[in-house]
Chain A
Amino acid sequence: MDDGGGARVSFAFEGKLGDFARIAFVNLLLTLLTLGVYAFWGSARARRYLWSHTRFIDDHLEWTGTGKELFKGFVAVLLLVLLPLFALNLLLQSAVMRGDTRLAFPLGLGFMVAIFYLVGAAHFRMLRYRLSRTLWRGIRGGSDDRGWRYGGFVLLRGVLVLVTFWLTVPSYNIALWNRRWRAMSFGPFPFEAAATTQGLYARFWALIGLGFVGMVGLAILFAVVQGASDPRVASMLGTGAAYLLFALIAALYFAVYFRNAVNGLSLGGLAFRFDASSGDWIRFFAGNFALVAGTLGIGIVLLPYRNWQFLITHLGATGGIDASRLSQSSTAAPGEGEGLAGAFEIGAI
């Protein structure tokens, strides 16, 4: 490419909230009118807008995914995954109801393992699908790995988290990120993921401390308010404060996790950077909350815009990429969309 190596190159987001809102509200209307079916086409349209208003160096991204393939992915998951899980859950519930622990225990365990495995695989497959539908200079990304083994990896690492009483969550998060991205590529270049937990454990322990102090504070607050007024008011206040505390902890954790994760990522001569500070994350969370609460919920349709904008604005890269070596991806493109991820409500964009 024309840019020399070593230079700081960057992503830029050129969208306008008003333009996105026109798409989002029309999507909402059509989704309701079609009893939900249009949601897949609406989501593809929203992404086309976000991608096409995202510039990397000298060219814009293009989203090539379609509503039809998202819909196909959803139907496949409904039939192959959700219905069997639903049946398993019914069996489990009736076993619990009858007090049949010999059946309920293995069923319950099997149900949890299945969910955990599938959520892991879904995460991987969502990333693979999105890369395969992202075009830059006519080139797309992807992965030849279908993600089923990644599900097993998530399960094993999950067991490790369990037996360490959740004290290894930072290692778990980083290991999963690295494993996922190492399987991905863009054009001929594989992603290299070498994220570390540097500084993440310090933040993790501090947040456990904050959580503990916060819960004690909440309990005191709850007792005081409950004595002084209607218990329903007290329970609403308490719930609200607990949510705020949780959001604050999540924002502060994500700030370090995501910076570490992205900063360890590189592709062909490009090293990626993410520069959002803890304050940026708190403002981002607070802004999302205000947008949803201030519009009595309807603002939720604008969140994909804010999420993407936050991601792209803080994303950068150093180095360069050689356009003459950038050739078309040879990975097999998945035929249908991220049904599995949709089913488990992951993926914010």
Chain B
Amino acid sequence: MTAPPATTGHLYDGVTGVRRAASARLAEGRLRIEARDMAPDEVPLALLRHTGQRGAADTYARSDRPGWRLTLVDSPEMRAALPQRDAFEARLDRIGLPTAIAAGIVALAVVATVALNFVDWVTPLVPDRAADRIGSEAIALLGEPGSCTGTAGQQALDRLVARLQPGGPAIRVHVIDSPTINAFAVPGRHIGVLRGLIEEVKTAEELAGVLAHEVAHVEGKHPLKGVLRAGALAFVLQNVGGDAASIAQTALLLTYTRGAESEADVQAIASLRRIGVSPKPLAEFLSYIGDYAGSEPQEEGSWRVVLRYASTHPLTGDRRRRLLAAVEPGRSYRAAMTDTEWSAVQAMCEAPVPDRATR
């Protein structure tokens, strides 16, 4: 057999850092290596791995000797005969800069689009039952069950909300015994009304306005969207059996996007118009609560402070103007509920009097 010409280069043996001039030639499926101060070595090609290329020099490692590196210079024949560099890597290396930049930008644009629209795409996929479970959990976190359960008042609220709804399954109203002035929607078909709000509004029409706004949030699935926005990952974990309470907390502390708020106002105006209640009391309540929020010292030591109406519903001049502009001059508006119903609602959180409970 005629031996092919030797290829030269250098060798590190992985034992010391000494650099040795070396030459190598192929012999029967092995690489025969001769280096200064070393006995000739024959390495099976299967042990070799291509680790790098620098100009005309190729470097090989052997799998049984950590740190062993043989660099061979300027031999296309040898390069062809020895193990090749990783095919996938070689392919990646051939991608040019313009292609790489363009691909990176396109990929980033796709991801940005997905991220921006994720909530709108995913919301319809969430089963109503799952959303409702989060909502119930949120309500349960706040309310001491059974504290505001005057039957007549509950029925009056249910009737009002049913009229405000454009359709769909009934929205449940939960009156919660808390001095905070607020009302909120949670995922699913639930609205929470805090006792403080019922005490603070001057008329049933102001309450109707607030409820119309919350009904619109429910119909627009805004709370669910907010939860999804706040924590897609947490939501996934919840559905595989995680801690529902944390998501429920998120649901309570949501603030909606400007778009969602303004959509809720538009819908609220439409539903108030349909049932013949003026939007003006809501506008007045908002101005009142706006001034009130600014002047009143914050309750100390209570996390419920964060649930104030003004903190979850930004009070802007725009909102007030829009509501006032929707008042139709000359139209005679109706009451949101009868005086008897309104009294019953106001009495909901009072200590239950036995005779009223049985009446």
Q: Which of B52, B67, B100 contacts A26 (CB 8 A)?
A: B100
Q: Is the CB of A138 within 8 A of B13?
A: yes
Contacts of B52 in A (CB 8 A): 48, 52, 62
Q: A90-B246, A97-B249, A138-B67 are in contact. Are A22 and B111 (CB under 8 A)?
A: no
Contacts of B67 in A (CB 8 A): 135, 138-140, 328
Q: Provide the bound-state CA to CA distance between A28 and B92, in Å.
A: 12
Q: Is A235 an interface residue (CB 8 A)?
A: no
For A33, the closest partner residue in chain B by CB is B107
Interface size on B, residues (CB 8 A): 39
Q: A52-B52, A138-B69 are in contact. Are A94 and B246 (CB under 8 A)?
A: yes
Listed residue (B14, B67, B110) with the most chain A CB atoms within 10 angstroms of its CB: B67
Q: Is A137 an interface residue (CB 8 A)?
A: yes
Q: Provide the bound-state CA to CA distance between A221 and B66, in Å.
A: 61
Q: Is B303 an interface residue (CB 8 A)?
A: yes
Chain B: minimal CB distance from A129 (Å): 15
Q: Provide the bound-state CA to CA distance between A99 and B12, in Å.
A: 65
Task: Please provide the chain A residues from 88 to 102 with a CB less than 8 Å away from any CB of chain B in the complex.
Answer: 90, 93-94, 97, 99
Contacts of B54 in A (CB 8 A): 52, 60
Per-position 1/0 for B178-208, Cβ under 8 A of A: 0000000000000000000000000000000
Per-position 1/0 for A104-147, Cβ under 8 A of B: 00000000000000000000000000000001111110000000
Q: Is the CB of A28 within 8 A of B104?
A: yes
Q: Provide the bound-state CA to CA distance between A45 and B86, in Å.
A: 12
Q: Is A327 an interface residue (CB 8 A)?
A: yes
Q: Which of B16-24, B218-226, B270-278, B320-328 contacts A (4 or more CB under 8 A)?
A: B16-24
Q: Provide the bound-state CA to CA distance between A12 and B36, in Å.
A: 29
Q: Is the CB of A32 within 8 A of B107?
A: yes
Chain B: minimal CB distance from A276 (Å): 28
Q: Is A308 an interface residue (CB 8 A)?
A: no
Q: Is the CB of A323 within 8 A of B19?
A: yes
Q: Is B299 an interface residue (CB 8 A)?
A: no
Contacts of A21 in B (CB 8 A): 97, 100-101
Q: Provide the bound-state CA to CA distance between A139 and B67, in Å.
A: 6
Q: A25-B100, A32-B107, A99-B303 are in contact. Are A94 and B243 (CB under 8 A)?
A: yes
Q: Is the CB of A22 within 8 A of B96?
A: yes
Q: Is the CB of A328 within 8 A of B66?
A: yes
Per-position 1/0 for B107-121, Cβ under 8 A of A: 110110000000000
Task: Please provide the chain B residues from 29 to 48 with a CB less than 8 Å away from any CB of chain A in the complex.
Answer: none
Q: Provide the bound-state CA to CA distance between A94 and B246, in Å.
A: 7
Chain B: minimal CB distance from A83 (Å): 10
Q: Is B15 an interface residue (CB 8 A)?
A: yes
Q: Is the CB of B108 within 8 A of A28?
A: yes
Q: Is B355 an interface residue (CB 8 A)?
A: no
Q: A26-B103, A97-B303 are in contact. Are A324 and B243 (CB under 8 A)?
A: no
Q: Is A29 an interface residue (CB 8 A)?
A: yes
Q: Is A326 an interface residue (CB 8 A)?
A: yes
Chain A: minimal CB distance from B238 (Å): 10
Contacts of B108 in A (CB 8 A): 28, 32, 298
Q: Is B95 an interface residue (CB 8 A)?
A: yes
Contacts of B96 in A (CB 8 A): 22
Q: Is the CB of B16 within 8 A of A323?
A: yes
Chain B: minimal CB distance from A190 (Å): 16
Q: Is the CB of A29 within 8 A of B100?
A: yes
Q: Which of B16, B95, B104, B105 contacts A328 (CB 8 A)?
A: B16
Q: Which of B12, B15, B51, B249 contacts A93 (CB 8 A)?
A: B249
Q: Is B235 an interface residue (CB 8 A)?
A: no
Q: Provide the bound-state CA to CA distance between A33 and B111, in Å.
A: 10
Task: Please provide the chain A residues from 57 to 89 with a CB less than 8 Å away from any CB of chain B in the complex.
Answer: 58-60, 62
Q: Provide the bound-state CA to CA distance between A303 and B217, in Å.
A: 44
Q: Provide the bound-state CA to CA distance between A97 and B141, in Å.
A: 9
Task: Please provide the chain A residues from 160 to 184 with a CB less than 8 Å away from any CB of chain B in the complex.
Answer: none
Q: Is B245 an interface residue (CB 8 A)?
A: yes
Q: A22-B96, A97-B249 are in contact. Are A327 and B243 (CB under 8 A)?
A: no
Q: Is A301 an interface residue (CB 8 A)?
A: yes
Q: Is the CB of A22 within 8 A of B14?
A: no
Q: Is B256 an interface residue (CB 8 A)?
A: no
Contacts of A25 in B (CB 8 A): 97, 100-101, 103-104
Q: Which of B16, B93, B104 contacts A326 (CB 8 A)?
A: B16
Task: Please provide the chain A residues from 1 to 57 with a CB less than 8 Å away from any CB of chain B in the complex.
Answer: 1, 18, 21-26, 28-29, 32-33, 45, 48, 52
Q: Is A339 an interface residue (CB 8 A)?
A: no
Contacts of A97 in B (CB 8 A): 141, 245, 249, 303
Q: Provide the bound-state CA to CA distance between A329 and B12, in Å.
A: 14
Q: Is the CB of B100 within 8 A of A22?
A: yes
Chain A: minimal CB distance from B246 (Å): 5
15 extra interchain contacts, Cβ-Cβ under 8 A, other than A324-B17, A326-B17?
Answer: A23-B92, A32-B107, A62-B51, A62-B52, A94-B246, A94-B249, A97-B249, A138-B12, A138-B69, A139-B17, A139-B67, A298-B108, A321-B17, A326-B16, A328-B15
5 interchain residue pairs of minimum CB distance? A138-B12, A326-B17, A25-B104, A25-B100, A137-B17
User: What would be 17 A-B contacts, judged by CB atoms less than 8 Å apart?
Assistant: A25-B101, A26-B92, A26-B104, A29-B107, A48-B52, A52-B52, A62-B52, A90-B246, A94-B246, A97-B141, A97-B245, A136-B17, A138-B13, A138-B67, A298-B104, A298-B105, A298-B108
